[in-house]
Structure 1
Amino acid sequence: METEFNPLTTAHIELQIEEEFPKIQLEAEKFELWFQPVYDLATGVILHNEVLVRWRDEEGNLRQPKELLIALQNTQLLNQLDRIIVEKSISILSHQTTVTLSVNLSNDIFDDQEFLPQLHAWLTQYKVAPKRLYFEIEEEILSQEQPLVLPFITELQMMGCYVVIDNFTGKFFPLLQLQELPVKMIKLERSFALRPVSITKKQLATAISYVSRTFQIQAVLKGIDDNLSLKLANDIGVKGVQGYSLSRPQEKPKTFGFIGLLIIKIIAVLILLYIFKNLVGINIFPDYHLWDIIVEFFQSLFGGK
């Protein structure tokens, strides 16, 4: 079970890290990757799965990332953690060929002159197409460290990877400047989805969505926690959505979108009804066999009948 963030435990984690990693070297097996999908709002297809890092403590509990990041921020270990997460993600992509992943990068990685050559080496080693790997960078960091970050993300783009601006608010970049940035997607800060949503905030989100679409950049609204925020996403015209009401973080990447899951559930219900009929002796569908029912369902779904 994943524990809630508690600042009082951070000192304990710092002590554990100091004791367990005296040589300032993190061990990959101590970290787990969890995943939360981003869905296409119009079709329900999964655009990609965002990678979330978890750390398991001595008692087997999964710790929240905030605790881990606070413990690591002054230890020069964030760079190593980035490398662990990226290589683990590429390894997963090599085994799951239908999955696309998005990895959040820390601020420390931009000073690492060896990361990009290492990334290219990993993609080659694991035989993974770069376009299946997205990298997320905070809007504020991109704004504050442009001379450092812009060449970095330009090289990522040239390599074939996609770049995502995370927690986008429009405060740090004029919207027209979006066309000059080598990015595939922007993720609007979750505050845009929090109620009550003011008219001004909704208008800003709509403008961001419109401008990004004009520049062929996908806009995603995070923080979709209920049907009202999902309706808001539809109103402002974003490409994708992400949030707890759609899918909580889980141990494996999701590969089925809304429609795929719906079809699987319907087929499962039909199979259970058929089994129930055979066990109880009540013929729910007297004139049909199970396969006929499934075929007619698909034909009606896709207009075949």
Structure 2
Amino acid sequence: MKTFPLQSLTLIEAQQKQFALVDTICRHFPGSEFLTCGDLGLTPGLNQPRITQRVEQVLADAFHAQAAALVQGAGTGAIRAALAALLKSGQRLLVHDAPVYPTTRVIIEQMGLTLITADFNDLSALKQVVDEQQPDAALVQHTRQQPQDRYVLADVLATLRAAGVPALTDDNYAVMKVARIGCECGANVSTFSCFKLFGPEGVGAVVGDADVISRIRATLYSGGSQIQGAQALEVLRGLVLAPVMHAVQAGVSERLLALLNGGAVAEVKSAVIANAQSKVLIVEFHQPIAARVLEEAQKLGALPYPVGAES
């Protein structure tokens, strides 16, 4: 099997990204201002917790964007908020010609969007579909939707931008693992789960153009719809850890790949690295023992089912 995984940050690159994030946090929270548990409710004049607003400013600066919004519903909630800000029911959404992530498909069905598909691996075919079908917006998944995917995110976004098609990227499983996310490559907005970045359960982020973020924020008019100050601070505390942790994970995967393909485990026929969605090792055995391997892995501490965090 031939795969085309995303280029992970090296440990040195991850440290530099971590240091840059800490510097940004310190500029927005000088002195002892970060030593707080955050505030609650609708601050007059802001209509959101003051700490949440400041954390959103940190995120915008960290990802070189105009604005950011924290939303309920983790990554799925972020995608839902961004799609609702870009599209109305019945409009046309361009997606890659591959299986759509299940939770994203639910959002598409709920909004009554018409799907247009194009092969993002073929930029000329993508341009032809855009010219002929004239989609109202595009959703581009940063990580791979199928093993053979090889498209370069920035190239896809440049093609869409040249045609005047607004684009949002699903950056789940890519944030703090690669050099740039969608909004840094030309997308109107990036969406991702903060839970997958060692943050609190149920918190998502949308980062990008100020006009899109403003439309999202206009829907967060009640106190209960807000991400509270304490949750927002936990987003940053987890995010600081993410780049180095993920770089270590990527390095371990590379070493395991070499060991497995070098014959370290006799039962393994071959192994490849793929972004599915996290960067993982896909192992083929000489005999059909995969189910038994998974059973034994649980006994050694592996999680038996997804929990929505970084897997």
Which protein has the bigger helix share? 1
Structure of larger gyration radius: 1
Larger RCO, structure (CA 8 Å, separation 6 or more): 2
TM above 0.5: no
**Normalised TM-score (structure 2):** 0.29
